[in-house]
Structure 1
Amino acid sequence: MTKYIPFILFTVLTNAAAQIMLKYGIMQLGPLTFAGVNPIVKILQVVFSPWVFIGLFTFVISMASHLYVLSKVDLSFAYPFLSLAYVAVAIFAYFIFREEVNVMRIIGIALICGGTFFIAQSGASARAHDGAKLDAGVAQKEASVSTTQEISR
């Protein structure tokens, strides 16, 4: 499972990048109001504004990456890593948009990172456990073959 962590992190980073692009795109458009405007026209203006469109496209890339990951690892292993997008978004928002990151957010980010670390470790231990089961199965099969050969002599 741990060999897919780079793909998982790619998913996380593209997810976070999409959020940043969407925020920037909406800031470029100004406050959303539907007064006196056809809502469908307004939605199309938002979706097809350059940064929002690129952000949505980046989400598609992120989801494609996530689907690949889900085809390879347990959902209970992969999904919690997506919480790291909160961490990346908070860091990017601080530097790009000058958003406040107070002590409570830092504590929350630290807890998310700690939880993700433990989940990553569980993937490593699951792989070791699966390897041990595989080794035990191979040993059992070899013993069975050996016994069968002795009986046939």
Structure 2
Amino acid sequence: MELDFCNDEEFDKRFLSASKELLSAIKQDNSTKSLEKIKFHKLDKLAEDLSIYSPVDDIRKEKKLLIEYLNTLNSNSISSYSFRELLEMERDYILPSIDGKLRETGYTTNYVWFFASLMILPLDILLAYFFGEYYFYIPFFTLYIAISSLSDRRKAKRERKLW
């Protein structure tokens, strides 16, 4: 399905129906095991959330990326792509929208808590080194980041917004 000829208003009006149409075509052409590789049930939720996001002008680029991703998947069978190719397409098309505008609506990636804790850990190590000789130091910053990120992850998983 080509949406390049549309102006922005038409694209926004037709986005949800076009994405649902592409998703149903992908579902018909592929097996359940192949659909699990692309996280099909999450793509449906992502399309719905992109369609109701406002202001519309801010999210248009992400909508176009999702349509391009669905067109790419619809052009060939999912089983014809390697696991690496699927991950690269997800990185190029899906993750920019999740890391950008949709993070404020509850979307998150799977291991963000781990990488955030790794980035804060050197600060806690330095504080423990300098203040550890005077009193017992608990790594507050790392614990705070890990606990808050894990609670966000649990909430996102419950709402099917964990990517």
For normalisation by structure 2, the TM-score amounts to 0.26
For normalisation by structure 1, the TM-score amounts to 0.27
| Higher fraction of helix | 1
Higher Cα Rg: structure 1 or 2? 1
